[in-house]
């Protein structure tokens, strides 16, 4: 490192700047894909529907209703 000329240092800085620009562009694309909730829902539509059905069942008291059925049979 100690024996580098100013031109070599400038070239190294410019190369690092270009590599950083490419890395930031790639990261931006990956973050955009990961946070695209519409695409995630479309890709996992079956799981989303199952989760929504289970959540609806639980929120409407389905577990309590089934528990009540079992208690009445005794």
Side-chain-side CA neighbours of residue 46 (13 Å) = 0
| pTM of the predicted protein model | 0.52
- Cβ–Cβ under 8 Å, residues 18 and 10: no
**In the prediction, which pLDDT does 74 show?**
57
Tokens 């989760």 locate to 51
Return per-residue pLDDT of the chain as tens, 74 residues: 578 999 999 999 999 999 999 999 999 999 999 999 999 999 999 999 999 999 988 888 877 777 777 777 65
The DSSP-derived string for 26-69 is HHHHHHHHHT-HHHHHHHTHHHHHHHHHHHHHHHTTHHHHHHHH
- Cβ–Cβ under 8 Å, residues 57 and 51: no
d(C-alpha 29, C-alpha 18), whole Å: 17
């Amino acid at each position: 490192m100690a024996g580098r000329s100013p031109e070599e240092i400038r070239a190294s800085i410019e190369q690092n700047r270009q590599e950083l620009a490419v890395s930031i562009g790639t990261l931006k694309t990956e973050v955009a894909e990961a946070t695209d909730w519409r695409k995630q829902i479309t890709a996992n539509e079956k799981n989303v529907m199952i989760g929504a059905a289970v959540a609806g069942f639980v929120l409407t008291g389905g577990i309590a209703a089934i528990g009540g059925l079992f208690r009445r049979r005794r």
